[in-house]
Amino acid sequence: MKNPGPAQGQGKWITLALLAAFAVLLYAAVIVRIATHTPLTIPVHELPHLLAVINGATIVVLLTAYSRIRARDREGHRRAMMVAIGLGVAFLAVYLVYHASAGLAKFGGYGLVRPIYFTLLAVHVVMAFMVAVLVPVTFYNAMKQRFAIHKRLARVTFPSWLFVAASGLVVYVMAVHLYPLPGS
């Protein structure tokens, strides 16, 4: 027996998720504008801060989605996951613009913290690649209403995505705030 296609009205939630991602980007741009009294543009060197905001929002939304599905609120879970997908798309767009324009972040820490940072960064990058594959596959199975497969995949995808978002914040704090390379 073939699974039915996506439920009616899915398009409006995808639109809502994309609008939410745009709203986060706009909010961050306005905050930068207010804080720096500059035109409503974000200089490339400010993009890591925006990426951190998106990562933080992703953590909150993923935990919300998890709590909704644990409460058997499929609709609330679906809405939260649409926002998480929108944030993921926004993150990827900003990330690609940043690294295409600025290259890699420079880490200025020395001693014991250096191998700790680069080990965390390596694990973060490997997991990010894994999440970049798992999220669309898990999402696709949910949209096709293949919930048994979706649930099995989500047991790996959720903690992996959460780890990537959280470790991204740790890498950001270490490289940008705690141990920036002097002169970069």
Predicted structure pTM score: 0.77
Q: Residue 36: its pLDDT value, please?
A: 59
> Cβ distance 41 to 28 under 8 Å?
no
CATH entry, 10-178, from 3.40.640.10, 1.20.120.80, 1.10.150.120, 3.40.50.2300: 1.20.120.80
User: Would you list the domain boundaries of the chain?
Assistant: 10-178
Residue 1 is predicted with a pLDDT of: 43
Per-residue pLDDT of 48-95, as tens digits, reads: 999 999 999 999 999 999 999 999 999 999 999 999 999 999 998 888
Q: Which pLDDT value is given to residue 70?
A: 96
pLDDT in tens, the chain (184 residues): 444 444 555 566 666 666 666 666 666 666 656 665 655 467 888 899 999 999 999 999 999 999 999 999 999 999 999 999 999 999 988 888 888 888 777 899 999 999 999 999 999 999 999 999 999 999 999 999 999 999 999 999 999 999 999 999 999 999 999 999 887 6
